[in-house]
Every structure is written in C-alpha cells, then in structure tokens.
Structure 1
Amino acid sequence: MNDIPQHDDLPLPDYDHLPVGVLASKITGLDENGVRQLLDYEVAHGNRLPVTQVLESRIEALREGAEPSGAVPSAAPEVSETSGGSPVSPDTSGPPVNPPSQGTPFNPAQPR
C-alpha cells in the first residue's frame, strides 16, 4: 500500500466536506494517481463504503481508457439565492384548492 496522504496533500482540498453525490463529478478531472490518493486517504480515515465504491469505479474507468477532464472544480456547487425572494405573489399564484369533503364531483366512480 502507498504512503497514506495527509489531508493537506489531497488533490481536492474540500474532500472531507463533499457529499457522496457530488464526489463523482469532482473527481473527473483527476488522473488515476489523484483518485488513488483519495482512496488511500478514505480507507485510512473513514472507509465509507459508498465513497470507496465511487473512487474504485473511477479508477477502473480510468484504467479502461476514460480520460480526466483536466479541470478539477475548486469549490462545491452552491445554490444561488435570488435577492428578491420568491417570484410567487398573491397576484401570480393559482386559485385556492378546496376539495369536496366526499369524493370528487367530476368523477362519477367516486361516491359523493
């Protein structure tokens, strides 16, 4: 086994804070050595099965000919917020929905 990389030596500085769902897209820019560093670090520190599976799958894909994208995103994607708040207002919202208490009057198969 390779020497276990330290957190500061990882190719993704925010690795410890990445959700598993984002990890696959973040590692596409890494070569096999970079992904291997993350895998070694993960096995030594957290050994989370979903994370190791993502990393091992990427290593396998690289060995089968996948190419690194060349760009490693520097920060996790963030949700942008609109400064004006919600675009829905009483003027743009739909009519209130008040279903009948017994079935639907427009569906004769349901009792009234």
Structure 2
Amino acid sequence: MPSTQRMFPEISPGPKRLRIGEAARELGLEPYVLRYWETEFPQLAPLRTEKGQRLYTQNDMAMLRRIQKLLHEDGLTIDGARRRLTESAQVHELTSGIIQELRDIRTMLSAPARPGARRRP
C-alpha cells in the first residue's frame, strides 16, 4: 500500500460529505471559523482529500452545531466549550458501558434455563 493511501484513505461514496464552504454556509459561518475550531477542538477532525480539502461528515456537522450552540447561544468561552464537550464524552462513555452491561444481564436472564441448573427465585 503506497504511503499516500495511508495518509489519505480512499473516500467511499455514501453519506453526503460537505466541503468547508458548504458546511460554513449551512451553519451561517465563515470558513475560517471552521478552520479555527478544528485547531481548538480535538473532537473535530474532518476527512481530508489527497489535495487537502476538508470533507465534513454528518457527525462532523453535528459536532459543529454543538460547538456553535455552546459558543454562540450558551455564551461559553472556547475553553469552557472544550471542557463541556470532554465532560459530555466521558458521561456518554460511562452510560454506554452501563447500557451494555444491562443488555448483557437481560440476555442472561432471558436465556432458557439449562437442564439441572437451578434458577434463583
């Protein structure tokens, strides 16, 4: 595999990806704002083409909307928004783990009893 393919993965057709100008227009912002946010928020990492163009996925757009809300509507600073996003990610990770554990328990409880196995009342 040539080194350029590792740096620039093949971009498959599928969900719509927006270039920086399109993404900025959709959000009502200037493209330089998105470039700046990319340097300030590690959660924001749009795909790059071989020519270096940014391509924003729907997940990236959701993150941009979240950042925009935190900064413009909630009035947080860049540092405050960054902290809020980090805290939110930690809570999401914790709750995802709990949800998976509960699913595993439900699967164990709904499994048919093995012959000779004693089930607790």
TM-score (norm 1): 0.29
Query: Which of 1 and 2 has greater Rg?
Result: 1
Q: Which has the higher contact order (CA 8 A, sep 6+)?
A: 1
Larger proportion of strand: 2
TM-score (norm 2): 0.27
